[in-house]
Structure 1
């Protein structure tokens, strides 16, 4: 991604693991991710993601400072595919702004157009990127809309009622 952004795979050892673990314990993240797990479970989660082909855990930095954890996944191979007509190359995103002090600063709405452009460039067959935030997370939904995503539907996932949001190519 172009400066001032930088994205790299999350490393399940050391600093990245500690940062993601801490962020997932934060009330503003834990309320919607529901993954305030122990550090060793996060280590296993990251290792599993990196060993497979379906999910990529990513740390996004702004001007060198990590600010966002995201998971990039193939929607057609995810539980969300049971809730909408997933195309084989649809890409899904889970996004968390780690530090509460960094929320409401326009990070997500600024990042999303850059990120979706990079994802479309990386996979020319991808025609849409999706998000599925909890419908109660109105802050995230507004940020996603400001970043170019449209509300397509409400879907029922095992752990939440989600707003299916779509950004077409």
Structure 2
């Protein structure tokens, strides 16, 4: 299991990522109850639900790799990646490329929205994922009504592909290809 921090220096901030730990789950649970999270991630889960779902990923990160995003060493967001092919639960059932990674993320504090931090977090995490030569492209699936997220992904080098039906409802499939000119960190 990954234990070292992966750091990427941006012009005015220092971003890093570390694997989510069991000790982080109360903090993550509190973040997930915030209005800017529940607006797009759905109703706030109980702490027991967070411990069950995320605890399973911590114990076995082969399906989902959960991370805490750090800004100047302080937790400021959550980000996860997963292999899209075979992800189960009705997700990406037609995907046949084992190199496709999916990502999901959110910033913890609503006061940090609309400052470019989400874009920098996504760019840095995409660079981390593309460091693996087996990763062919990265996808994400925001709600089509979530203009802020869509704009963030576009600035990070993602292209809107098409609307898709997911187990969570309608989504906009967005893809970032290796070497995208918008993502110079690759």
Higher helix share: 1
Q: Deviations over 1:92-117 (max 9, x none)?
A: 10111111111111012122222211
What is the CA distance between 1:51 and its match in structure 2? 2.6
Q: Tell me the distance in 2 between the aligned counterparts of 1:8 and 1:32.
A: 24
Query: Does structure 1 retain, via aligned residues, the 8 Å contact 2:84–2:95?
Result: no
| Alignment correspondent of 1:106 | 116
CA RMSD of aligned residues (A): 1.4
Give the deviation of 1:86 after TM superposition. Answer: 4.6
Q: Give the whole-Å Cα distance in 1 for the aligned partners of 2:120 and 2:164.
A: 26
**Residue 135 of structure 1, CA deviation:** 1.0
The 1-side partners of 2:101 and 2:82 are apart by: 6
* Structure showing greater relative contact order (alpha-carbon pairs closer than 8 Å, 6 or more residues apart): 1
Of 71, 95, 98, which residue of structure 1 is paired with 2:105? 95
The equivalent residue for 2:29 is: 21
Measure how far apart 1:85 and its partner are.
Answer: 3.7
Pairwise CA distance, 1:43: 1.2
Indicate whether 1:151 and 2:186 are aligned: no
Gaps of 5+ in 1: none
Displacement of 1:156 in angstroms is 0.3
The question of 1:42 aligning with 2:50 is answered: yes
TM-score normalised by L of structure 1: 0.91
Q: 1:80 aligns with which of 91, 94, 97?
A: 91
The count of aligned residue pairs is: 165
